Amino acid sequence: MANILLMGLELPTREELHRVLVEQGHTVSLERHDALSTVDTVFCNGDQPGYRALVSHIRAFRPDLPVVVVTRLPEMTRWLDALEVGAADYCSTPFESIQIRWLLSAVLGQPVAEPAAPVLVQA
């Protein structure tokens, strides 16, 4: 599982994404700039005016670190802008577990882990 940093996300978005990531078994840190050297990927807010500078800063510090831009308002131009500034991917709310699993698989270069099948116990 991945070590993920959430930066600059508004409370409802942060809580929803945090819940999905933890349910998948990931370790999640919040707003810790000192964690940039140890995380596997960063999710940051694409709805804030300064997100381009944040993505550029992260990419300058760790060029290998995938940054995913998160928005409440998905638009093609914003998606292209995020990729142009160096984001590895772009996603919007609401978050579905499979969407986040596929996204992390793509940005981390790992195969998609299938959820465990329920075990049926017969009495």
Tens-place pLDDT, residues 84-118? 989 999 998 898 999 999 999 999 987 655 544 44
Q: Dump pLDDT digits (tens) for 3-62.
A: 999 999 999 999 999 999 999 999 999 988 788 889 999 999 988 888 899 999 999 999
Torsional sign, CA 84, 64, 35, 37? negative
* 115 backbone φψ class: left, alpha, beta (φ>0; ψ -120 to 50): beta
pTM confidence score? 0.83
Cα–Cα distance measured from residue 5 to residue 39, given in angstroms and rounded to the nearest whole number: 6
Q: Catalogue all structural domains in the chain, each as residue range(s) with its CATH number.
A: 3-108 (3.40.50.2300)
Helix axes 76-85, 51-61, angle to 10 degrees: 30
